[in-house]
Structure 1
Amino acid sequence: MTPSDLLDLCKAKGLRIATAESCTGGMVAVALTDVAGSSAVFERGFVTYTNTAKTEMLGVREATLAAVGAVSEEVAREMALGALVNSDADIAVSITGIAGPGGSEFKPEGRVCFGIADKTGCTTETIEFGALGRTEVRMAARNHALQLLWRKAGGPKD
């Protein structure tokens, strides 16, 4: 599945996409908008690198950030749902994680939390990509987010 395949699928189904990205810094949005004609499907992208941006742009609750931190499924859920509420999209994906270098014993480098939402709700998951290096973790997260969008749009499993 390529970004072009995803866009074609969504266009055929009349679906619009929004992204809410932290550690990937807009890489999912870039992958989609690199394709000519993506404006028929890509509604908007939020790059919310700081906690302040997450609260101001997506409505992530400060209490959630204080309780569990930005790299959590709870924040990924609020990011994805916030992207839906603050856009005209039908599907939204969120990404928040630790690309590296660094991390901690409790939140290691390579941990990335995802949310995938539509009008019926949101599911979340955490992937431990490991200490692959910053570039590789970010690319892996981008690719996984595109797969989540593909599956949510009804694409066949690869």
Structure 2
Amino acid sequence: MSTRDLLAALAERGWTLGVAESLTGGLVVAEIVAVPGASAVLRGGVVAYATDLKRDLLEVPGGLLAERGAVDPDVALHMARGVRRRTRADVGLATTGVAGPDPQDGKEPGLVFVAVSTPDRDEVRRLDLPGDRAAVRAGAAAGVLALAADVLAG
């Protein structure tokens, strides 16, 4: 499913979209707004690159962040849920991971978690992405959009 098809599927349901990004730094929202008519679905996005912003803006529990770090499947899920609340959207997408070149919190570059939260279900997917920083970031953006398409497809 293309990004255009994803937006059409959201529009058919009358659902809106919010996006929380960490390592992707706005790539997901940029991919979405490249589609003409995206404003009919997209409410907005939050780039919470710093861990304290994940806590303060996206309502990721501080204890979870302190215990596991920002690169964690539960953090991704809380980010997706938090951006739904903050943007008053029906669907939330989230990306968190290590783009590299150095490890973060003991996690190697290429480890990414993407999440989708909808009124019907939540899902998190682990991605182990090869390549340099740009490849990991692009793969993470594509990965969260693919997960969203899978969730909407049923």
The answer to whether TM tops 0.5 is yes
1:73 and 1:113 in contact (8 A); partners too: yes
Name the CA distance, whole Å, in 2 between partners of 1:108 and 1:123: 23
Q: Which residue of 1 aligns with 2:15?
A: 15
- Percent identity reads 32
Q: Which residue of 1 aligns with 2:122?
A: 122
CA drift at 1:110: 0.3
Name the CA distance, whole Å, in 2 between partners of 1:115 and 1:105: 20
For structure 2, the 5+ residue unaligned runs are none
2:23 and 2:49 in contact (8 A); partners too: yes
2:125 and 2:147 in contact (8 A); partners too: no
CA drift at 1:62: 1.2
Name the CA distance, whole Å, in 2 between partners of 1:32 and 1:104: 28
CA drift at 1:152: 2.1
CA drift at 1:17: 1.1
User: AA paired with 1:123?
Assistant: E
User: AA paired with 1:137?
Assistant: V
Tell me the SS of whatever aligns to 1:115: strand
Name the CA distance, whole Å, in 2 between partners of 1:11 and 1:144: 21
1:15 and 1:153 in contact (8 A); partners too: no
CA drift at 1:154: 2.3
2:69 and 2:105 in contact (8 A); partners too: no
Q: TM-score, normalised by structure 1?
A: 0.91
Tell me the SS of whatever aligns to 1:57: helix
Name the CA distance, whole Å, in 2 between partners of 1:38 and 1:104: 34
User: AA paired with 1:30?
Assistant: A
Name the CA distance, whole Å, in 2 between partners of 1:76 and 1:84: 13
Q: Which residue of 1 aligns with 2:151?
A: 152
Tell me the SS of whatever aligns to 2:87: coil
Name the CA distance, whole Å, in 2 between partners of 1:18 and 1:121: 15
Name the CA distance, whole Å, in 2 between partners of 1:115 and 1:145: 7
Tell me the SS of whatever aligns to 1:29: helix
User: AA paired with 1:13?
Assistant: R
1:138 and 2:137 aligned: yes
**Runs of 4+ with deviation above 6 angstroms:** none
Name the CA distance, whole Å, in 2 between partners of 1:104 and 1:58: 20
